[in-house]
Amino acid sequence: MEQIALVTGADRGLGLALCAGLLERGWRARSAKIASAPPGWLYA
């Protein structure tokens, strides 16, 4: 059975490391970048 993983936040940090580790172990990995908030969203 093929092993496939969907990793969010794979553009940096832990998500990137997890994705790289899965690929080394033969998994097929799909990655997604976390969308950044629009400017001022946090302080609105």
In single-letter form, the type of residue at position 23 comes to L
Residue 40 has pLDDT above 80, yes or no: no
Q: What pLDDT is stored for residue 27 in this prediction?
A: 95
**Average pLDDT over every residue of 16-36:** 87
* Cα of 20 vs its chain's centroid, Å: 10
Q: What pLDDT is stored for residue 31 in this prediction?
A: 84
Q: Which two tokens stand for residue 24?
A: 């080394």
What's the whole-model pTM score? 0.67
Q: How far apart are CA 5 and CA 28, in angstroms?
A: 6
- Identify the sign of the CA torsion 15, 21, 23, 25: negative
Q: What pLDDT is stored for residue 38 in this prediction?
A: 63
Position 23 confidence tier, pLDDT thresholds 50, 70, 90: very high
Residues 6+ apart with CB under 8 A from 27: 3, 4, 5
Residue 43 has pLDDT above 60, yes or no: no
Q: CB count, 10 Å around CB of 16?
A: 14
Please state the domain extents for the chain. 1-34
